[in-house]
A and B are shown apart, each in its own frame.
Chain A
Amino acid sequence: MTAAIEVRAVEKRFGNVGIIRDLNLCVVPGERHAIIGPNGAGKSTTFNLISGHIKPTSGEVRLNGDLISGLRPFEINRRGLSRSFQVTNVFARMTVWENVRCAVLWATGHRYAFWKNVDSLPEVRERTARILDDIHLTHRRDVPAGLLTYAEQRELEIGITIASGATVVMLDEPTAGMSHAETERAVSLIRRLTEGKTLVIVEHDMSVVFGLADRISVLVYGHIIASGTPEEIRRDPKVKEAYLGEEAH
């Protein structure tokens, strides 16, 4: 079976500093894969390398078997990979409705069209409405995204990410800064919305990670030291030493 995402021997250097060294990662189609690791381990950089935000110094990244390293972010997105951001990254002056709709437009084939009225595209309207419903923001549809509460913005962030219908979804710390109740809500939202898709998630909250992930990869100093099921990771002595330490239980 071809991996949904395959990272092979990827290296990223900024000047002389190697942030990512010999990174190997394999994400199986349909699984929920969490990447964990201490601060500064290179988790966000890994996301950026896969999604095309930055280019690897060497090595290759494959999406469903196709080489994508070196492609631009929008080219990778068009191939069915979508990602969210750790820092909320929405269209602040546009309404919630328009935020999600923008993310629907390319996937529905309307692209750069300047001869169609955007308000009278039935499939776009339906899909946007459905996603707003999914992320529980229908009642906030006409509010500019910049005026939403923090938790709402995080939900919108997820909505924008899944709106294109991408089969591989990458979420970068979706619950960061959320209260306990908000986190629970967000996790069930993620679980529901990524049903049948491949999910890669970076997360600090261990209860979220162990509750959600089918498999976990542990990243330390730009290198994956272990990959496996939550149970294997929990038992792995290398992981215990390098990362989980006393925090595990």
Chain B
Amino acid sequence: MTTATTSTPNVTGKPAGGNLRFYGVWLIGVIALIVLPMIFSSGGSLTSFSLIGIAIVFALSYNILLGQTGLLSFGHAVHYGLGGFAACHMMNAVTSHGWPVPLPFIPLFGGIGGLVFAMIIGWVMTKRAGTVFAMISLGIGELVASSSLILRSVFGGESGVTTDRTALPKMFGWTFGPQLQVYYLIAFWLVLSAVAMYALTRTPLGRISNAVRDNPERVQFIGYDPHVVRYLAFCFAGFFAGIAGGLAAINFEIANSAYLGAIQSGLVLFSTFIGGTAYFFGPILGAILVTYLQLGLTSVTSVWQLYFGIIFIGIVMFSPGGIAGLVMMHRPLVRAGTLWTVIPSYLVAIVPTAALAFGVILTIETIARYSGGDAINLFGIGFKPTSPVTWISAAVLVVGGAFVARVTWRRIADAWDRAATVARDRGYLA
């Protein structure tokens, strides 16, 4: 259901199952975006879907840097935020001057805002990759975020720049007052941006970006200046981040310093990495998951950031390819027809792993709520944080769960080895 908002194209290039299957995946994505609000029509779900759509565009733009060009940025929200401010100022200008620019064109101005800043700052930033780039991006991020509070005329200080999306000229009679209309506007730009960004990966520049990611030294000896490649990729990333920011400005009718701060930059890095940078659809999965976690966890626990951190560490340690990497790992097994041999080991591992997770959650919540004394409600079971019974249950779950889980994980590894060997023999695995 939630994954229905994704379009999950097969990025490995050559359309393996023919063009039909390739376009089919995109078509399913588009249809899902259209029918989704008809199935889940509550205000809450529409808001969630809108936020997810924005997060997907933002995460995909980030992956142009991280996954495709190998640039780790700690300040990508700068372009998102500046796109948001550009969109807000544009909307206010359209309203006050009576220009004939309807709302659906506004995200483009957000994109231009992000692009222009990327063009100005990018040449210096992309001179070097690696740590140098990461550090400069962090510095620029902080610089712009603090400027946003100082330069009041542009950024509106603490309160930000507000706008009214309904005051713009109408298009097809839509006022864009109702959230449903905003959702469709976001969905439209999501599809447009996703298609454009996917197409970018299949251009000469896109492929050379991959080459720069893998080996910037060698690229120089096949005629390319890696600096120019990084710069162009940076500009594209800035442009699409600006579009995401413009969409956010339309959605919230405000742009403020929170848009371009370190938290926003961290969140997009987090989404992209959790989703998986090696595949085009990875950041889509990541953006959906992280947005849902953000919306869902904040309402049930005060220490939701702790869970974010644990998930992030878990992914980095156990699945550096992210969710997409985990999913795609199974593809050769599916093709070789050996997937069924590993499924039983997964099912066996679910129980102790869930017990371990349950124990960890109980421990965290006990510590978090000890002084407050709020009861913990975990999947319908009530626990008192001050009661020794809770502590013992948590300890038993963590220790026992970890002990049994380790055994079952080893069995997964064994089953995997066997299945992979067969897949290799049948030529589905290199």
A114 contacts across to B, CB distance below 8 A: 200, 203-206, 232, 236
Question: Does B211 make an interface contact (CB < 8 A)?
Answer: yes
Report the Cα distance A105→B223, complex, angstroms. Answer: 9
Report the Cα distance A73→B213, complex, angstroms. Answer: 18
A111 contacts across to B, CB distance below 8 A: 204
Report the Cα distance A87→B73, complex, angstroms. Answer: 30
Q: Which of B211, B223, B228, B278 contacts A91 (CB 8 A)?
A: B211
Report the Cα distance A73→B219, complex, angstroms. Answer: 9
B204 contacts across to A, CB distance below 8 A: 105, 110-114, 116, 118, 121
B220 contacts across to A, CB distance below 8 A: 52, 72-74, 77
Q: Which of A95, A110, A142, A163 contacts B222 (CB 8 A)?
A: A163
Nearest chain A CB to B79 CB, angstrom units: 18
Contact A113 B211 (CB under 8 A): no
A106 contacts across to B, CB distance below 8 A: 222-224
Contact A98 B199 (CB under 8 A): no
- Please, what's the 1-or-0 string for A83-105, where 1 marks a CB less than 8 Å from any CB in chain B? 10100011111110010011101
User: For residue B217, which residue of chain A has the nearest CB?
Assistant: A89
Question: Does A51 make an interface contact (CB < 8 A)?
Answer: yes
Report the Cα distance A163→B208, complex, angstroms. Answer: 15
A91 contacts across to B, CB distance below 8 A: 210-211, 214-215, 218
Report the Cα distance A72→B223, complex, angstroms. Answer: 10
Question: Does B362 make an interface contact (CB < 8 A)?
Answer: no
Report the Cα distance A99→B184, complex, angstroms. Answer: 41
Contact B206 A118 (CB under 8 A): yes
User: For residue A99, which residue of chain B has the nearest CB?
Assistant: B211
Contact A164 B222 (CB under 8 A): yes
Binding site secondary structure of chain B: helix
Q: Which of B199, B222, B225, B278 contacts A72 (CB 8 A)?
A: B225
B13 contacts across to A, CB distance below 8 A: 95, 98, 119
Question: Does B229 make an interface contact (CB < 8 A)?
Answer: yes
A110 contacts across to B, CB distance below 8 A: 204
Nearest chain B CB to A75 CB, angstrom units: 8
User: For residue A78, which residue of chain B has the nearest CB?
Assistant: B223
User: For residue A98, which residue of chain B has the nearest CB?
Assistant: B207
Question: Does B221 make an interface contact (CB < 8 A)?
Answer: yes
B215 contacts across to A, CB distance below 8 A: 89-92
Report the Cα distance A94→B229, complex, angstroms. Answer: 17
Contact B203 A102 (CB under 8 A): no
Report the Cα distance A104→B276, complex, angstroms. Answer: 29
User: For residue B226, which residue of chain A has the nearest CB?
Assistant: A74
Contact B222 A118 (CB under 8 A): no
Contact B222 A92 (CB under 8 A): no
- Please, what's the 1-or-0 string for A156-182, where 1 marks a CB less than 8 Å from any CB in chain B? 000011011000000000000000000
Report the Cα distance A85→B224, complex, angstroms. Answer: 17
Question: Does B202 make an interface contact (CB < 8 A)?
Answer: yes
Question: Does B430 make an interface contact (CB < 8 A)?
Answer: yes
A14 contacts across to B, CB distance below 8 A: none
Report the Cα distance A89→B218, complex, angstroms. Answer: 7
Contact A112 B232 (CB under 8 A): yes
A160 contacts across to B, CB distance below 8 A: 218, 222
Whether A93 contacts B217 in the complex (CB less than 8 A), given A105-B208, A116-B204, comes out as no
Whether A93 contacts B214 in the complex (CB less than 8 A), given A102-B208, A107-B223, A144-B430, comes out as yes
Report the Cα distance A102→B223, complex, angstroms. Answer: 10
Contact A102 B222 (CB under 8 A): yes
A69 contacts across to B, CB distance below 8 A: none
**Inter-chain pairs besides A93-B278, A119-B202, 20 sampled, C-beta below 8 Å:** A73-B220, A74-B221, A77-B223, A89-B215, A89-B218, A90-B215, A93-B214, A98-B211, A102-B219, A102-B222, A105-B207, A105-B222, A111-B204, A112-B232, A117-B202, A118-B204, A118-B206, A121-B204, A143-B430, A164-B223
The chain A residues found within 8 Å of chain B, CB to CB, are 51-52, 72-74, 77-78, 82-83, 85, 89-95, 98, 101-103, 105-107, 110-119, 121, 142-144, 147, 160-161, 163-164
The chain B residues found within 8 Å of chain A, CB to CB, are 13-14, 199-200, 202-208, 210-211, 213-215, 217-225, 228-229, 232, 236, 278, 430
5 A-B pairs with C-beta separation under 8 A: A91-B210, A91-B211, A102-B208, A110-B204, A117-B203
